[in-house]
Amino acid sequence: MALQPFHLAIPVHDLALARHFYGTVFGCPEGRSSDHWVDFDFFGHQLVIHYQAPAPAQPAATSGVGDHDVPVPHFGVVLSWEGWETLAARLREQGVPFEIEPCVRFAGQVGEQGTMFLYDPCGNALEFKCFKDIDQLFAR
C-alpha cells in the first residue's frame, strides 16, 4: 500500500522568516497562502505554517534516545539514505545549526538509523531519519 501524505500545521511567530526557512533553506515548493499561513510541499507531505504571536519561552523538553537527549515534541520525515545525506549537506551549506549533528544511531542493532535534529527559526524541532534497511523502521 502506498503511503498517503500527512498534513501537519505548526505555529510560527515570524511568517516571513519561516517562509524563507522552509521555502529557501529546505527548497520546499510553496502552495496556497494567506496573510496568516503558508502551505508547503514538505517532501511530499503538506506542512502548513500558521502565524501565532510568540508565547513566553518555555524550557525545552527532551527525552533520552540512544546517546542523545532529543527535543520533544518534534516532527520530520524518513528519507532514503542518499536523500538524508543530501539534505544534511544542503543544511550545512545554508549554515543551519544542528541541535544533534547528523549521525548514525543504534549502529549494528535493530533499528540502525541516520538521524539529525535542528530547529526552525521559530523554535519548532525537526528530525530527519534514514534507514539502510527501511524494513527496520518498525522493527522491535
Residues 131 and 82 in one domain: yes
Asked whether residue 57 is domain-assigned, the answer is no
User: CA 30 to CA 36: how far, in whole Å?
Assistant: 14
Write the CB contacts of 71 (distance below 8 Å, at least 6 apart in sequence). Answer: 60, 61, 62, 99, 117, 119, 125
Task: Provide the CATH number for the domain around residue 12.
Answer: 3.10.180.10
Convert the pLDDT of each residue in 30-84 to its tens digit.
999 999 999 999 999 999 999 999 877 777 788 888 888 898 999 999 999 999 9
Asked whether residue 22 is domain-assigned, the answer is yes
Residues 82 and 127 in one domain: yes
Match 511530499 to its residue by C-alpha cell: 44
Asked whether residue 56 is domain-assigned, the answer is no
Give the structural domain span for 73. Answer: 64-136
Residues 17 and 75 in one domain: no
- Radius of gyration of the chain from its Cα atoms, rounded to whole angstroms: 16
Residues 41 and 84 in one domain: no
Convert the pLDDT of each residue in 76-122 to its tens digit.
999 999 999 999 999 999 999 999 999 999 999 888 999 999 999 99
Residues 77 and 15 in one domain: no
How many domains does one find in the chain?
2
Antiparallel, parallel or unpaired: β 75-79 and 125-130? parallel
